[in-house]
Structure 1
Amino acid sequence: MSIFKKVKFPTAHTILFIIAAVVCILTWVIPAGQYDRLSYDDENRVFIVQSQEGAVTHPVTQETLNKLTIQISLEKFTTGAISKPISIPNTYKNLKGHPQGLVGFIQAPLKGIMKSADIILLVLIIGGLISIVNATKAFEAGIAWLAEKLRGREFILIIMVTTLIALGGTTFGLEEETIAFYPILIPIFLAARYDALVCIASIYVGSSVGTLASTVNPFSTIIASDAAGINWTEGLTSRLIMLVLGLILCIAYIIRYAQRVKKDASRSLIHDQKEEIEKQFMGSMASTNTLLNRRLKLVLAIFASTFLVMVYGVSQLGWWFLEMTSVFLAGALLIGLIAQINEKQFVTEFMSGAKDLLSVAFIIGIARGITVLMEDGQVSDTLLFYASELTSGMNKGLFINVTFLLYNGLAFFIPSSSGMAVLTMPIMSPLADSVGIGREIMVNAYQFGVGLFKFISPTGILLASLALVNVGYNKWLKFIMPLVLLLAILAMVMLTFGAYF
């Protein structure tokens, strides 16, 4: 037994490399295959069907869509609601294998880093911004003030953070952006005598349950409904109910664990890291008495404003990573001027903060590299084909629940929610017609399945989030799996009810 105690769970980087190796092996086992793709060329006003034989243009008419057995209205394409190529039903073909070998394995993380340059840059700039704010001691003063205000009512912090982030997740898919919140909120949770796992859960679980029960999220709900040929408002009531019930369940679960840790710190799943984490995030805060003066209040106000501007820009102005990163860089420069940080100290602090998140940036790139391996190996469509074959001919209840479980599995191979929608909905939604259930229930099965897997997905943003606090994936699984099982039961009950009533 002593030998096993000495064996440590591998780091996030190693876990991802192991998964990448397994995916490489799968590309030798799973046959390569692909559906034909349909895209709309707005400039030339034509449909383009891309197959292995080449590209063929078709007139932009509803008749063309009907001939291709695509039950989606023409306006979904012409208005830009569907902008990515979609899979064409009944066109799956086996291809010559593209197994990925040693070269592909080595190049995958490098390709992943190149493809993830936008989010990696965002993470590094956020690291620099946080370091600049730290240098002003505004965090120290703000945390001391907030801890005093919430004394005896710290659970409000859990409810507030989880709910707000869930609202971001359900409305515009707040996910990657949450990486910015951990370094700011963890000291606040620690000051409230919770452990860092409570903070991670409040942020990550909030985001995940929000995306699981997306209501108006254009990157999942709307694009999936469009690809299924229905209006996004169909099924909205059931998603709202799932959001409320799921959020209540998640908050209750986190508070139960948090209160247990607060009463007895030794019951924390990361108790062995308590001193290390407090030193990393609290520093000398406990021994200093920095007052929250006007200048520091202004620093914190500007810092908070960068996130408000980011949320508004993403949700209302169509911003993406370049614009978000620009806001955080501008915030760092403005805070540096207000706090009168000299040029040399500013550069030193900013670079130090970026360096602290470099490990997280690499994790994001390596995770994206796994997706590159699957794309190059051309196995994702094969898995979709067999999934559709498996569910064909089942009764309503069994069909929708098996579909939900299949989406959990497919989410490992296709981590992008929008990519999953445009690839699978044109294939899977007609199956709903064959068993007599509404296509909105299929959209819900997709959302619940993809959303639930995000709670444990090693190929998403989870490992990067855990790496910020140096919390092992094994400890996260130990914490989160009971909640995942409860949410799975809730989702299956909701889907079964929707299929029959």
Structure 2
Amino acid sequence: MLKRIPHTYTIISSVILICAVLSWIIPAGEYVRQTIEVNGVPRTVIVDHSFHSVPQAPQTWQVFSSLLNGFERQAGIIAFLLIMGGAFQIMNSSRAIDAGIFSFLGFTKGLERYRFIKMLGVNNVVIGLIITLFSLFGAVFGMSEETLAFVIILVPLAISMGYDSITGLCMVYVAAHIGFSGAVLNPFTIGIAQGLSDLPLFSGFEYRMFCWVILTGVLIVCVLKYASVIKKHPEKSPMYHADAYWRKRGEGVSEEISYATTRSAYVVYALVLVALTFFSLYYPQSTFSLGESAVTCYAVPFLSALFALFAGLGLRKSNHFFILTLLAFTILFLIVGVMAHGWYLPEISAIFLAMGVLSGFANSEHPDAIIKQFLDGAKDMLSAALVVALAGGIIQILQDGRIIDPILHSLASLMGETGKFVSLGTMYFIQTLINLIIPSGSAKAALTMPIMAPFSDVIGLSRQATVMAYQFGDGFTNMITPTSAVLMGALGIARIPYQVWVRWFWRILVFFMLLGLLLLIPTVVFTLNGF
């Protein structure tokens, strides 16, 4: 019988204490940093051979202030979680998502009349397509924080399909971060790392695309294998009892929902059309950058016109389908905003908050009822917010204790005079370890690439190979490190305890890390385009 794993708060608090102890043991040190422009964006990077000792800064009482410091450090993601929880609670109160899931399941059953799809399994096709889509988002524009908005949709969908919350989380969060690991055009990792390494932007595209296909394919196989077991034996899920929350919420959906269209929904429809008219004037054109090429189109006006059509059709059916149309186009506008206009948490939270409030009014809710629903949803996210704050406290202790740079310097010294294979593997190992304490891909690129890139020249290793070692090392451990605010937020939304996730996911993580090491070998052995 397995020993009981400590509570998530206990684990993270223990890590904070360990980091505080290390600040007494590890000699403090720092690198000199300078600001340079990388692809037109200012980045702070390390100056070569600038590491030096600084006065020790042991952390004591600071462990108790780390929670507040973590709140301040991760304020954006914490506020985003609370807003998302509130917005979706308003939408959930209308039963629109439940109605949409029920309608979707009915549609998928109809696909069974096609022999090929029936042979593959409708649910298998759905899971495979969703994983591919989110993996592509991670590979192309670095979807990470944005996945939090989709976890709250796809976890209930997975439960309704007969799976568990872990399957739902894999379909969106894990898929996006596998894509993030096999980044093809991700500007936040590959773009910065190649810029700091003086490489052509997004060069080596072909082999990275091959790696992305392999990684995504393997993830689909892993998830489908696990999902098939849970479908046949639901009690084998480590979340079987905890998922009762989601199962209870979906009980009797088809019988309880009363389909009708209210006058208030038409009023909201008119107001949204007016808002989208001004929105289209503000964003008349959108430029999507893919590598060194760019495509400009009238994305916002086009989507606004489509919304007018589909929302009108939704109103003819019921409030629920109008609200679902609001949700669908919120997601489409989010994609356009992120990829073409540089949207981040403020814009994304604003558009989802607007969606939630409009959903409430479309469902003829009183303003006081909408506020109560929002507060109930935000309250449900409070536990996840505390975990994110604690995770931010870990980084704060490491920084204030001045031991991040000494750890980085010591790891870089491990490479010494080793050969190409060992050096590349060591780089991969170093990036993986650093990612446990610095989960930000762009920050890690700024810290490590000024050291790794020149070293690869000395040993005759391709700088592209060094970038790939960074890429894999940056991506995989994002899905298990307690310092990742996005992971903690996703687990909180899915109601999966961190200790349960670690116990379930660690074998898959080890497999992907070994697969990443194997995919690095061709960068040394073969002559690859762009390498």
CA distance in structure 2 between the partners assigned to 1:435 and 1:290 by the alignment: 69
Aligned 1:403-442 pairs, distance under 5 A: 403-442=427-466
Letter in 2 for 1:309: F
SS at match of 2:211: helix
Q: 1:283 Cα deviation (Å)?
A: 5.5
Q: 2:43 — aligned with what?
A: 84
> Is 1:285–2:269 an aligned residue pair?
no
Q: 1:16 — aligned with what?
A: 12
Overall identity of the aligned pairs, in %: 28
SS at match of 2:58: coil
Q: 1:131 Cα deviation (Å)?
A: 1.0
Q: 1:295 Cα deviation (Å)?
A: 2.1
Which of 130, 137, 148 in structure 1 is aligned with 2:95? 137
CA distance in structure 2 between the partners assigned to 1:334 and 1:474 by the alignment: 37
CA distance in structure 2 between the partners assigned to 1:455 and 1:352 by the alignment: 28
SS at match of 1:84: strand
Greater CA drift, 331-340 or 374-383: 331-340
> Is 1:97–2:93 an aligned residue pair?
no
Which of 484, 490, 508 in structure 2 is aligned with 1:465? 490
Q: Quick one: structure 1 residues 335 and 314, their matched pair in 2 at CA, closer, same or farther if it must change by over 3 Å?
A: same
CA distance in structure 2 between the partners assigned to 1:159 and 1:383 by the alignment: 40
> Is 1:38–2:38 an aligned residue pair?
no
Q: 2:335 — aligned with what?
A: 311
Which of 156, 160, 164 in structure 1 is aligned with 2:129? 160
Q: 1:119 Cα deviation (Å)?
A: 1.6
Deviations 1:107-139 (A, max 9, x none): 112011012222211111111111111111112
Letter in 1 for 2:427: T
Which of 106, 109, 113 in structure 2 is aligned with 1:148? 106
Letter in 2 for 1:203: V
Alignment TM-score, normalising by the size of structure 1: 0.87
Q: 1:119 — aligned with what?
A: 77
Q: 1:63 — aligned with what?
A: none
Letter in 1 for 2:226: Y
Q: 1:478 Cα deviation (Å)?
A: 3.3
Q: 1:350 — aligned with what?
A: 374
CA distance in structure 2 between the partners assigned to 1:140 and 1:278 by the alignment: 11
Letter in 1 for 2:40: G
CA distance in structure 2 between the partners assigned to 1:234 and 1:437 by the alignment: 16
Q: 1:171 — aligned with what?
A: 140
Q: 1:291 Cα deviation (Å)?
A: 4.4
Alignment TM-score, normalising by the size of structure 2: 0.83
Which of 210, 216, 228 in structure 2 is aligned with 1:247? 216
Greater CA drift, 373-382 or 145-154: 145-154
SS at match of 1:164: helix
Q: 1:66 — aligned with what?
A: none
Q: 2:23 — aligned with what?
A: 27
Letter in 1 for 2:197: A
Q: 2:65 — aligned with what?
A: 107
Which aligned runs of 4 or more in structure 1 are off by greater than 6 angstroms?
none
Deviations 1:414-473 (A, max 9, x none): 111100000110011111111111111101000101111112111112233223333233
Deviations 1:211-243 (A, max 9, x none): 101111111110111111212323322211111
Letter in 2 for 1:485: V
Native 8 Å contact 1:140 1:290 kept in 2: no
Greater CA drift, 248-257 or 160-169: 160-169
Greater CA drift, 456-465 or 194-203: 456-465
Q: 2:265 — aligned with what?
A: none
> Is 1:494–2:519 an aligned residue pair?
yes
Q: 2:166 — aligned with what?
A: 197
> Is 1:294–2:352 an aligned residue pair?
no
Q: 1:252 Cα deviation (Å)?
A: 0.5
CA distance in structure 2 between the partners assigned to 1:290 and 1:31 by the alignment: 66
Q: 1:274 Cα deviation (Å)?
A: 4.1
State how many pairs are aligned: 458
Letter in 1 for 2:446: V
Native 8 Å contact 1:137 1:290 kept in 2: no
Aligned 1:171-250 pairs, distance under 5 A: 171-250=140-219
CA distance in structure 2 between the partners assigned to 1:491 and 1:408 by the alignment: 11
Greater CA drift, 308-317 or 215-224: 308-317
Q: Quick one: structure 1 residues 110 and 478, their matched pair in 2 at CA, closer, same or farther if it must change by over 3 Å?
A: same
Q: 1:289 Cα deviation (Å)?
A: 4.5
Q: 2:387 — aligned with what?
A: 363
User: Structure 2, unaligned stretches of length 5 or more?
Assistant: 110-120, 261-316, 527-531
SS at match of 2:418: coil
User: Structure 1, unaligned stretches of length 5 or more?
Assistant: 41-75
Native 8 Å contact 2:23 2:57 kept in 1: yes
Letter in 2 for 1:336: G
CA distance in structure 1 between the partners assigned to 2:29 and 2:211 by the alignment: 35
Letter in 2 for 1:124: L
Q: Quick one: structure 1 residues 122 and 473, their matched pair in 2 at CA, closer, same or farther if it must change by over 3 Å?
A: closer
Q: 2:500 — aligned with what?
A: 475
CA distance in structure 1 between the partners assigned to 2:332 and 2:521 by the alignment: 39
CA distance in structure 2 between the partners assigned to 1:497 and 1:253 by the alignment: 24
